[in-house]
Chain A
Amino acid sequence: MDKQDQKTHVGKWPQNCKLASIEPEHLRNVIVRKEKLAPTVTLVEVRAPLVARSAKPGQFVIVWPHEKSERIPLTISDRNPETGTITLVFQEVGRTTIELGQRQVGEEIASVAGPLGNPTEIELYGSAVVVAGGVGAAIAMPIAKALKEIGNNLVVILGARERALVILEDYMRAISDQLIITTDDGSYGRKGVVTEPLQELVSAQKVDFVFTAGPLPMMKAVAQVTKPHGIKTIASLDAIMIDGTGMCGGCRVTVGNKTLFTCVDGPDFDAHLVDWDELQARKSFYFDEEKAQLKTIAGNKQ
């Protein structure tokens, strides 16, 4: 582990320091803040000064928590160039995210590389709707903020399975003109799925732009709602990645009959052109192996 061998004086990289004088220890990815947003959703603020200074909404990092981890992509939900930190919000769904959630403030993540992918194109569309499901709220958070800041009328629809899993509600309420919450079991907000209020919105008023992030079936359903209305719809895709730099081709998706790499050509794509079924198949390919990995978590905390 190239970075961890170095002796430390953590985090003293002065802001206006020239790149030529950075030392490896200045780039150590120490967790400075941690919050549980929901039972399985964790927010960490982590030092990553080079990422923090150049990240834009829609970009992601590749995180490699420790020597035996997988490299996984996580969206940069927020950044602070002054403190040299970025915010990641993740759902604990498997070995790597669970292990990441076990890390405490002051501990280190072996590697955080980015910002990767293309920033979301933020324009003044007029009326914009952000549809996010589950942890997709974290992915949508910087996009929603940027859409509002540029002057769009913004509706945010947040969906979750149940009340406890609704995250970032206050944040979204503060930046949007209207916030709609749905839960599958009706324990909070409207009972049902996000596409229902979306369907009503697009039928009742002019919607110029939709951004969606969340579980794949949800994004696919959102695309089906907006397509007949010809509404420009952008989805943030979560293909399986390794390097995030265009080197492995594992993240390829078919968009409009063309093969593209999610990490360098995306992660945002025209939701009406994505081959959703292919993406779903590629994403679930390692289901058995991932399940088996859960057994290795205990005692493997480095």
Chain B
Amino acid sequence: MAKGGTRNPMPKLPPEIRIRSFEEVALGFNEEQAIDEAERCLGCKNKPCVYGCPVNIDIPEFIRLIREANPVAAARVIKKTNALPAICGRVCPQKEQCEKVCVLAKKSEAVAIGALERFAADQEAKHSNPAEPPKPENPELCKYCVAVVGSGPAGLTAASDLARTGYSVTIFEALHKTGGVLRYGIPEFRLPRHILDREVDYVRSLGVKILTDVVIGKAVGVKDLLNEGFEAVFIGTGAGTPKFLGIPGENLSGIYSGNEWLTRINLMRAHEIDYATPIKVPKRACVIGAGNTAMDCARTALRLGAKEVTIVYRRSRAEMPARAEEIENAEEEGVRFQLLTNPKRFLGNERGAVEAIECSRMELGEADESGRRRPIPVPNSEFRIECDTVIVALGQNPNPLIRMTTPELDTEPWGGIIVDPRTGMTSIPGVFAGGDVVTGEATVIAAMGAGKIAAAGIDSYIRQKHNLII
């Protein structure tokens, strides 16, 4: 294909097959498609795409290497700034980032940067030996220990950068498995487990020690970490606490938060018969909200065997915050969209289980602070939606455990930890933070970017503290 030509579509499993399993939906480019797509890139001198990527991957360079049939070298270029390319290539909101500013986006369609990134990463995994991990830059630094709290993308990135610099790094993870939202939130049909395991193994291979089942703030305080051998602490505990609507009936049984629904399935494997965690297969499920979490919950409910799954959202299609691709996928799979609809209360049966939602219709008014048009209820428009399962997927607030047990830590009124944006340092010297726990729910790549900034911040903090000139 010529420069600028039409975009190669992502090959996908057909909807009727994919809703019967948790197989990955997007199949990825083959070599031919990848090279063809890579040929579309204009190799722009001013590289707008690079500035659209939160970690500034050298996009034209890695695409050039794919074009030259050298995806392994392409992956190395990406890995200079992004330790988890197989993950970002799959889950980044590219249409809002790198691909949004690609010059081709104005004329026709952006280069499929995410799909190419994923291609490079997958090819590297296939073709290279489980890459002998890079040697630490400064092995002398290994006498300095750094604690990383949380093994989501922010923690994994901070840990791998610090280990590559030379520090001894320990990750403390509250759950019994690593990965944070990448494991318990994002379903396998978007991010297969072996990809995540491979990335976590890579981080381990750098010498990072991972201790699961340790709840920082409970088993061990943040200050204890500093007092017992760690030079610095990175807090990457994410935004784990689900938001609810706060309307009557919300604690009826059969009403889940998005986190609970997804955790039961993704982490605890409730849908597999020999796993003990229970789940009820819905007949009619309603998912409240329209972000990534909502799409994931709806599509998961379908795969469990739900007869009917409806997204209930108070604004219109244009305002739905999920990745465009996932909205499309959900629609293809048969998820219904009940838009401009706002739940007012939940109604239960005699056993205390949900049986319907009372909703009112909405219309869009003026734009609000977020720039989106504000939904206003239409008077006397109440109606019922019958359902036996409700999943409330309205997003998350930062988890309170560390805040509650570390009073010296300055936080926003809504719970986010306050940091110096240049270094990631919090109000406690030596304690750094980044990712969703600082910003509120954002993206995988933003969390990784924050992990990187904090790793650099920790490096210079330790060097200064010990007057190191290495």
Interface set of A (CB-CB < 8 Å, partner B): 1-3, 18-24, 27, 50-51, 53-54, 64, 68-71, 95-96, 110-116, 242-243, 245-250, 252-254, 259, 264, 275, 277-278, 280-282, 285-286, 289-290, 293, 296, 300
Contacts and interface: CB of A to CB of B under 8 A. Distances in A.
Contacts of B278: 70, 286, 289-290, 293
Chain A binding surface SS class: mixed
A278 B230 CA distance: 45
Interface in B159-196: 168, 170, 174-178, 184
Contact of A113 (B176, B240, B275): B176
A20 B229 contact: yes
A51 B219 contact: yes
Interface in B340-355: 351-353
Contact of A259 (B147, B212, B251, B404): B251
A296 B273 contact: yes
A70 B276 contact: yes
A250 B259 CA distance: 9
Interface string B98-117: 00000000000000000000
Given A21-B229, A27-B211, A115-B218, A95 B240 contact: no
Contacts of B178: 2
Interface in B352-411: 352-353, 399-401, 404
Nearest to B144: A20
Contacts of A22: 170, 211
A53 B218 CA distance: 11
Contact of A247 (B145, B241, B244, B251): B241
A114 B220 contact: no
Contacts of B215: 113-114, 116, 245
Contacts of A245: 174, 215, 240, 399, 401
Nearest to A111: B176
A116 B401 CA distance: 10
B250 A293 contact: no
Given A245-B401, A259-B251, A250 B256 contact: yes
Shortest 8 CB-CB contacts between residues of A and residues of B: A281-B352, A20-B229, A18-B229, A289-B278, A248-B260, A285-B253, A286-B278, A20-B145
Interface string B2-29: 0000000000000000000000000000
Interface in B239-284: 240-242, 244, 246, 250-254, 256-257, 259-260, 263-264, 268-269, 273-280
Nearest to A244: B215
B68 interface: no
Interface residues of B, number: 58
Contacts of A95: 276
A96 B175 CA distance: 18
B413 to A, nearest CB: 18
A2 B228 contact: no
29 contacts: A1-B176, A2-B178, A2-B210, A18-B228, A20-B228, A20-B230, A24-B210, A24-B211, A54-B218, A54-B219, A69-B276, A70-B278, A71-B277, A111-B213, A113-B174, A113-B176, A113-B213, A246-B399, A246-B400, A247-B242, A248-B242, A249-B257, A249-B259, A253-B251, A259-B251, A264-B400, A275-B251, A280-B352, A293-B276
Nearest to A27: B211
A242 B263 contact: yes
A114 to B, nearest CB: 7
A21 B264 CA distance: 33
A27 B215 CA distance: 13
B274 to A, nearest CB: 6
Contacts of B257: 248-250
B252 A250 contact: no
Contact of B253 (A1, A21, A281): A281
A127 B438 CA distance: 47
A68 B276 contact: yes
Contacts of B228: 18-20
Contacts of B260: 242, 248-250
Given A18-B229, A19-B225, A286-B280, A247 B399 contact: yes
Contacts of B241: 246-247, 249
Interface in B123-176: 145, 147, 168, 170, 174-176
A246 B256 contact: no
B352 A50 contact: no
Contacts of A250: 256-257, 260
Given A96-B276, A296-B274, A243 B353 contact: no
A113 B214 CA distance: 6
A50 B259 contact: no
B353 A71 contact: no
B107 to A, nearest CB: 45
Residue among A71, A110, A113, A277 having the largest count of chain B Cβ atoms under 10 Å: A113
A264 B220 CA distance: 16
Nearest to B254: A285
A247 B278 CA distance: 18
Nearest to A265: B400
Given A20-B168, A245-B401, A281-B351, 6 more contacts: A50-B214, A68-B276, A110-B176, A113-B214, A114-B219, A243-B263
B209 interface: yes
B177 A2 contact: yes
A278 B250 CA distance: 11
A242 to B, nearest CB: 6
Contact of B263 (A27, A248, A259): A248
Nearest to A23: B209
B319 interface: no
